């Protein structure tokens, strides 16, 4: 699970003009709570929260938490996958915290679609990115040369995966 510390002015900033910075942060915190309920009940693998910000924030209490490390989202994702694969065999999946409608069945389907080391699966997002990505083996190329926070993320990622 990739998440940010829910701090006003740092999360859901595009919603701040409508909700205010504090309201946007409260909405994001609700997203984390909803996803936490899903992940806490998911019994088909290990769940680790990779957090940007303070891993000791109350939103992450009682969960396995690691800090995100890297200069940009691509480096942070690459590092998280590398760590996860160092802990055991795949498949490994990452989901984003902007996925309040994600259910257990989505996780099962995402990971179930990856049957071997040369396979990957995604849950596309409406904004041109993705909500979830599963890999059968480490694939650093999936995170390099991506124009993060744009509507081109999914297409560029799929092309990188195909090439790899």
Confidence of residue 100 (pLDDT cuts 50, 70, 90): confident
Percent of the chain predicted with pLDDT > 70: 100
pLDDT over 90 at 81, yes or no: yes
Please tell me the class of the 2-163 domain.
alpha beta
Pairing mode of beta strands 130-135, 92-95: antiparallel
Residues 6+ apart with CB under 8 A from 25: 6, 7, 8, 9, 10, 11, 12
pLDDT of residue 7: 96
């Amino acid at each position: 699970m990739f998440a940010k510390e829910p701090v006003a002015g740092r999360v859901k900033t595009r919603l701040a003009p409508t909700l205010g910075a504090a309201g946007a942060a409260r909405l994001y915190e609700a997203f984390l709570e909803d996803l936490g309920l899903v992940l806490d009940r998911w019994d088909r693998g290990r769940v680790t929260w990779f957090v940007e910000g303070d891993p000791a924030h109350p939103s992450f209490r009682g969960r396995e938490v690691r800090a995100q490390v890297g200069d940009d989202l691509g480096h942070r994702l690459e590092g998280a996958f590398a760590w996860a694969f160092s802990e055991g065999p795949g498949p490994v999946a990452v989901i984003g915290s902007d996925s309040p409608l994600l259910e257990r069945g989505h996780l099962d389907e995402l990971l179930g679609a990856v049957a071997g080391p040369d396979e990957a699966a995604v849950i596309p997002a409406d904004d041109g990115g993705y909500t979830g990505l599963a890999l059968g083996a480490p694939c650093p190329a999936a995170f390099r040369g991506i124009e993060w926070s744009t509507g081109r993320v999914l297409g560029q990622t799929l092309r990188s995966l195909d090439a790899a």
